[in-house]
Structure 1
């Protein structure tokens, strides 16, 4: 707000001087605010980074909490027999022979000239096995072979209808949607011509006038020499905890081997994911709190109590005891999870295999319990309103306070500039007056000197 005429009286560039004095007054305070804000922003970024790492650790711990005593299952001929296992399956080996696959019944009508041939009118009653009886009205709107096909498909009676031309003409083909010997197709007709069983009109589609193309049949297999039948090609419960999917008949004289084992791979994968996530947090904390004695420079969170608390509580959680009563495993070290002098973890795969061999269920129980406690600890850091949120909220408050301090600084600098303008303006006016007085006195002295010289010459 420097006045443009400032300096006219004295001839000095007082406006530039005012600007320089204001800048000199502002600079140290403004620099201090910028440094503080940059530090707070760096801390915000650091806490965001550590929260991301802890969230990944929480996810990995959740998988250990939910880890079950899983099973693996394999088939020596997956093309003919698929297998999947639940936790209740007992580890072992089974021999299976697929004798026959379950089939769905298919029936075909006699041949018609084409799909648009009028068959007749009346009603159809369609039932698959002991399922729901579905009635279908056939009238002049759908009395062709094509119309009847569409009406059957629209009825959702559990039968797929199609028209196939086999060279002798168009035939209506009905296929049950359900396999098994009991799931035969029963189609009765109420023919408008008065005869429901003859070979004219709608009665040509009655069950007794349809050819059986594929008979309904149950699946049959031998498991360890015992014969098992099923209306479907899925044997669920024939072996406890196993689901067998029959895909093709076995080669004559050969059997398919099914092996069930403990799912070690899932345990190892979950532990490795946890170890990786935990070590990432350790690295983050070390990087954010490191101090370089050579440069005497510390990282953005060096000496921060929050990160020290996180490291301490995570380390304590690792040492927690747990496991099922009577189990020989009481801590993670028993499972081959070891910590080095820097706090980073590693997995001794051989030690883990030995533990799983000795007590698979006990090892899973220990992992469930210890990881549950650790996950609760991590949640306390990462959850909404948790420790990290409290720290970041505090930093955001400080940043907002810096914005307010900048506003105060701007107001103070405006007042300071106005005061300088007033002071320099007054000085400028005084100097101008003094210069005018000086000029007047110079003129008067000049005139007096001229008079004296004239008198002397006389």
Structure 2
């Protein structure tokens, strides 16, 4: 700590000294530890930013890896195709679907029962009652009154039954007809009783069926099947297909693993890994001014690099599994960067799909092992980055508390010091007058003046 001097010239000059400047000089001297604390805080803040950035990169890598390790992720995605899209449309293949080839022939499509009434001349109203029954279900009777005694009113009343029957009105020059379409499937045949229905001209209204309800009849992989709907979602687990027309020969339907999604997911994994590797290597260097990066030589940095490097070298010799990244076309290059050979990956997926999938998804294999490693190194829970950040936070709090406590003590001391120096200054400034008084007393006693 530097020595602070007080300049007041001759003791008998009466000039005294600059109290404010002296106090400022002393307090600056006593605040010297804060300079070191500020330097430490600046370094810790820079480390915080670097740790946060590494945490973000590691989180992105974990997310990319999760797409490959999750059982409903990239390896579960399916795609499909049919040989005759005019007869069959493959509308969905979920993660539950199994890859494979299927044959399909369609003998009949499912139909809905369609019924229409005789023409009701324009301007006439309806009277009586109308009874509707779907298959073996309960019959529903509509009694015509002033609220529904038009063709449109009866159609609305039928729709309001919410029985699955669609009622519309078709109009031409002869009048309006009530048209009904029921649900598809043989069990949904419409039964209509309009015997009590007449128009205001005294004419009976008759009903005519133009299409009977029927089930779809098709053969899947040699097994004859039926369906009340042309949309089939229960025949193959996870697969939905639409029957569009009858066939004269078998249609092939292929359900395959979506290798394009897997390739994209692996490319994202490689990119995320390289971003983290670049960031880790960057912390081992110096910046453009020659100063070391915030985490240069940090043990946490070394731990992360060591564990990730070990995870990359991880391999299994179990039957049916890929043994290392190289078999997937992923190689480790200079600086720990990964590169992906799309051709080699395509070959691996086509020749050993189960092995590639197991490599990422089986317990104890590469994907699950790397997941465990990243969880132990990340910025959440007890991850290495999280603990390292918590350590910085604790140190920053200690430094901030040290400064607060010192400032509290210095505030009291500054007040006391200012008071004492003011008193001393008053004494110095009063010396000439005190000496003058002594001279006067001496002269009065002796008759001489002091020189």
Normalised-by-shorter TM-score class: 0.7 to 0.9
Q: Which residue of 1 aligns with 2:120?
A: 112
Q: Which residue of 1 aligns with 2:430?
A: 433
Counting matched residue pairs gives 425
1:22 to partner: Cα distance: 1.9
Matched, 1:385 2:381: yes
**Greater mean deviation of Cα atoms: 240-249 or 404-413:** 240-249
Secondary structure of the residue aligned to 1:232 is coil
Deviations, residues 38-67 of structure 1 (Å, cap 9, x unaligned): 222222222222222222222222221125
Tell me, yes or no, if the aligned pair for 1:107 and 1:213 is still in contact at 8 Å. yes
Match of 2:299 among 301, 305, 314: 305
Q: Which residue of 2 aligns with 1:290?
A: 284
1:213 to partner: Cα distance: 3.9
Tell me, yes or no, if the aligned pair for 2:101 and 2:252 is still in contact at 8 Å. no
Deviations, residues 220-262 of structure 1 (Å, cap 9, x unaligned): 6687999876432234566787543234677xx8986644444
Q: Which residue of 2 aligns with 1:277?
A: 272
1:151 to partner: Cα distance: 2.8
Would the alpha carbon gap of residues 139 and 398 (structure 1) be closer, same or farther in structure 2, given more than 3 Å must change? farther
1:159 to partner: Cα distance: 0.8
Q: Which residue of 2 aligns with 1:424?
A: 421
Extract unaligned runs of 5+ from structure 2: 1-13
Q: Which residue of 1 aligns with 2:308?
A: 314
Matched, 1:16 2:16: no
Residues of 2 paired with 1:219 and 1:37: CA distance? 76
1:114 to partner: Cα distance: 5.4
Matched, 1:360 2:353: yes
1:368 to partner: Cα distance: 1.5
1:383 to partner: Cα distance: 7.0
Match of 1:30 among 29, 34, 37: 34
Deviations, residues 196-218 of structure 1 (Å, cap 9, x unaligned): x255379x999x93222444344
Residues of 2 paired with 1:392 and 1:240: CA distance? 48
Matched, 1:233 2:230: yes
Residues of 2 paired with 1:80 and 1:115: CA distance? 45
**Equivalent runs, 1:109-258 vs 2, <5 Å:** 109-113=117-121, 117-121=125-129, 124=131, 126-130=132-136, 132-133=137-138, 135-138=140-143, 140=145, 142-145=147-150, 146-176=152-182, 178-188=183-193, 197-198=195-196, 200=198, 209-219=206-216, 230-236=227-233, 243-247=240-244, 258=253
Would the alpha carbon gap of residues 234 and 358 (structure 1) be closer, same or farther in structure 2, given more than 3 Å must change? same
Would the alpha carbon gap of residues 159 and 205 (structure 1) be closer, same or farther in structure 2, given more than 3 Å must change? farther
Secondary structure of the residue aligned to 1:400 is helix
Deviations, residues 427-447 of structure 1 (Å, cap 9, x unaligned): 212112202124446778999
Would the alpha carbon gap of residues 427 and 198 (structure 1) be closer, same or farther in structure 2, given more than 3 Å must change? closer
1:412 to partner: Cα distance: 2.4
1:396 to partner: Cα distance: 2.2
1:157 to partner: Cα distance: 0.8
Secondary structure of the residue aligned to 1:133 is coil
Q: Which residue of 2 aligns with 1:266?
A: 261
**Equivalent runs, 1:92-103 vs 2, <5 Å:** 92=101, 101-103=109-111
Residues of 2 paired with 1:379 and 1:412: CA distance? 45
Tell me, yes or no, if the aligned pair for 2:192 and 2:207 is still in contact at 8 Å. no
**Greater mean deviation of Cα atoms: 156-165 or 388-397:** 388-397
Would the alpha carbon gap of residues 378 and 328 (structure 1) be closer, same or farther in structure 2, given more than 3 Å must change? closer
Q: Which residue of 1 aligns with 2:6?
A: none
Would the alpha carbon gap of residues 355 and 115 (structure 1) be closer, same or farther in structure 2, given more than 3 Å must change? farther
Q: TM-score, normalised by structure 2?
A: 0.79
Q: TM-score, normalised by structure 1?
A: 0.78
Extract unaligned runs of 5+ from structure 1: 1-8, 190-196, 453-458
Deviations, residues 302-349 of structure 1 (Å, cap 9, x unaligned): 2222222222222222222347x5326322222222212422222222
Residues of 2 paired with 1:326 and 1:293: CA distance? 48
Tell me, yes or no, if the aligned pair for 2:60 and 2:272 is still in contact at 8 Å. yes
Deviations, residues 369-426 of structure 1 (Å, cap 9, x unaligned): 3212211222233374222333323322222222322221212221331243133222
Would the alpha carbon gap of residues 451 and 70 (structure 1) be closer, same or farther in structure 2, given more than 3 Å must change? closer
Would the alpha carbon gap of residues 173 and 328 (structure 1) be closer, same or farther in structure 2, given more than 3 Å must change? closer
Q: Which residue of 2 aligns with 1:336?
A: 329
Would the alpha carbon gap of residues 394 and 37 (structure 1) be closer, same or farther in structure 2, given more than 3 Å must change? same
Tell me, yes or no, if the aligned pair for 2:115 and 2:179 is still in contact at 8 Å. yes
Deviations, residues 64-109 of structure 1 (Å, cap 9, x unaligned): 1125465431245646632244665454485x67676433222222
Q: Which residue of 2 aligns with 1:395?
A: 392
Tell me, yes or no, if the aligned pair for 1:69 and 1:360 is still in contact at 8 Å. no
Residues of 2 paired with 1:70 and 1:140: CA distance? 57
Tell me, yes or no, if the aligned pair for 1:164 and 1:173 is still in contact at 8 Å. yes
Secondary structure of the residue aligned to 1:292 is coil
**Greater mean deviation of Cα atoms: 104-113 or 231-240:** 231-240
